[in-house]
Amino acid sequence: MSTTGPRGTRVPLGDHDVDERLDDHGEVDPDDRLDPLGDPSDGGDDDRDDVDTERRHRRRNRRVLVAALVLLLVPVLAIGGYLGYLNHVVTNNVRQDALLPQTGPTGDDGQAVTQPAGNGTNYLIIGNDAGPGREGARSDVMVIAHVPDDHSAVTLIHFPRDLWVPIPGHKDAKLNAAYAYGGAPLLVQTMQNLLGIDVDHVAMIGFEGFKAMTDAVGGVDVNVAEASTETVGSTTYDFREGTMHMDGDMALAFVRQRKQLSQGDISRGQRQLAFIKGLMLKTLSPSTLANPVTLSGFLDAATSNLTVDDALDVGTMRSEAFALRGLRGNDIRFITAPFSGFGTSADGQSIDVVDDAKMDALGAAIRDDALDTYR
C-alpha cells in the first residue's frame, strides 16, 4: 500500500511504511525523516515518540561535538604549523661548524692537560666586527656565558681583547690574536687554559646580526653607564647616562665606540654586556615570545647571522631558551675578566695585564657554579 502526501511519497518497506519526506530537489531531508517503526501522526504510541526524540538529540549532539572539535583543532593545528615554521627557520638558517678543539685541552707547550670537571654550562660567544677599516680577522667580542644547572641566572663574563695571555703553540699575545692564529678552536683552548674550565659550546655572530635582532624586536632598552657622543656618517648619537631605548643603528654605534670612553676597550666591553643584557630581556619578554610576528622576525634575524659548534643542535638551543624564559634583570650578571692594569708589551703594544690570582678565583667560581660569590 502506498499513499501520497503534500511533501513526499510513502513507499513500502517490508511490513512498514516509511515517509521519506523528499525536499524540493527530490532528496531526503535527514532531519525530517521519520523513524521506520512508524509515523507518530498515523497513530504511533508514546514509546515511538521517545525513540524519535532521542535519536534527534543524538544527531544534534554529534553535530555540536564535531563543531567543537573543529574549533579546538583549528588553533592547535595553526600553532603546530607556526611552531613547525619556526623550527624550519632555525634549522635552515643556523650554520654549524667545527668551532671546538678536535683534541683535548693542551697547555702552552702544546702538551695535553686535564681540566677539572665543572658544573653548569659554559658558552663562548664570539662577535666579529668585520668591515672597512676594521680588524675583520680578529674577534672583537669575547664573552663567556655561564648558565648554572638550575637555569636560575646567567653570568656574562667579558674578556677584553687586549688581555696579554699565553696562546698554545704561539708566543704570548693579545687574546683576540688566538682567533687570528687558529680560529675559534684555538681561542677556546686559550680560554680554557686561562681559566681552567671546559668550554661546552661556541656561538659566533657578526655585529650586523646584533643590529638586525635589535630592529626585529622593536629596539631594546640599554643602561648607559658613561655618557658620550658618536658620529656615524651623517648621524650623531648622543648617549646619555641612564636607560635609553635604542634601535639597531644606534645600538651598533653604542657597542662599537671605544676611543672616547674612559677605559677604552674595557669600557666598550662593558657596553657590549649592557647591550646583550637588554637584548636578552627583550627577547625573553612576553611582548616577544607571545607575538608570532615579532618572534619569527627575531629568530630569522638571529639565526641568519649565527654559526654554532657542531655539537650544539637546534633542540638543545630550544630547550635552553625555554628553561631561561623566566629570567629577570637581576638574574643576569656582568663580570669583566680581572686585570691588574695597563701595560706595554716588549714589542710596544698597549696591553691589559692579567691578574693571575683573581683569574684563578674566577675559574674556580665557574667550575663550582658559584659565580654569585665571586668578587
What pLDDT digit, counting tens, does each position of 338-354 carry? 999 999 999 999 999 99
CB 350 within 8 A of CB 357: no
Residue owning grid cell 660567544: 125
Instruction: Considering only residues 375 and 199, tell me which one the structure prediction assigns the higher pLDDT.
Output: 199
Residue extent(s) of CATH 3.40.630.190 domains in the chain: 94-373
- The per-residue pLDDT for 63 is 65
Residue at 261: amino acid letter: L
Segment 168-174 mean pLDDT: 94
Lowest mean pLDDT among 3-17, 46-60, 264-278: 3-17
Residue 302: pLDDT above 80? yes
Q: Count CA atoms within 13 Å of residue 149 on its CB side.
A: 6
Instruction: Considering only residues 163 and 286, tell me which one the structure prediction assigns the higher pLDDT.
Output: 163
Instruction: List, for residues 173-221, the tens digit of each pLDDT value.
Output: 999 999 999 999 999 999 999 999 999 999 998 878 889 999 999 999 9
- The per-residue pLDDT for 133 is 44
- The per-residue pLDDT for 12 is 45
332, containing H or E segment: strand 332-336
Residue 292: pLDDT above 60? yes
Residue 326's nearest CA partner among 294, 296, 286 is 286
Return the CATH number of 94-373, one of 3.30.450.20, 3.40.630.190, 3.40.50.300, 3.30.70.360.
Answer: 3.40.630.190
